[in-house]
């Protein structure tokens, strides 16, 4: 069954799980354990806090927020990895 034929609740559930996995994978791209663990804990806490939502509009809002957070995590991971890998930047840290 294609995603367009799924009931709205099921489609949102699948989208939510996909974003959750992507956020956890994004966390693994962080160059430091502290940052990695922070993102994992924050993602888990946010998803647990929102798992009982039933209003589709509110769920959609939080999914869009999670998508934005994913973009931020990926950009930060790339940027911080470059800083950690650059010996010139290490002098200033």
Do the beta carbons of residue 12 and residue 60 sit within 8 Å?
A: yes
DSSP-derived secondary structure letter, 6: S
pLDDT values of the chain reduced to their tens digit, one per residue, 93 residues? 555 677 988 999 999 999 999 999 999 999 999 999 999 999 999 999 999 999 999 999 999 999 999 999 999 999 999 888 876 755 555
Question: Which residue's structure tokens are 């995590």?
Answer: 73
Determine if residue 42 is left, alpha or beta; phi over 0 gives left, psi from -120 to 50 gives alpha, anything else beta: alpha
pTM of model > 0.75: yes
Note the pLDDT of residue 85.
80
> What are the φ and ψ backbone dihedral angles of 32, each rounded to 5 degrees?
-120, 145
Do the beta carbons of residue 26 and residue 70 sit within 8 Å?
A: yes
Note the pLDDT of residue 92.
52
């Amino acid at each position: 069954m294609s995603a367009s034929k799924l009931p709205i609740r099921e489609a949102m559930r699948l989208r939510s799980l996909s974003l959750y996995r992507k956020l956890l994978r994004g966390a693994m791209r962080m160059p430091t354990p502290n940052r990695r663990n922070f993102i994992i804990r924050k993602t888990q806490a946010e998803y647990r806090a929102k798992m009982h939502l039933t209003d589709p509009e509110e769920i959609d809002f939080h999914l869009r927020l999670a998508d934005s957070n994913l973009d931020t995590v990926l950009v930060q991971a790339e940027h911080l990895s470059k800083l950690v890998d650059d010996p010139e930047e290490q002098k200033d840290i």
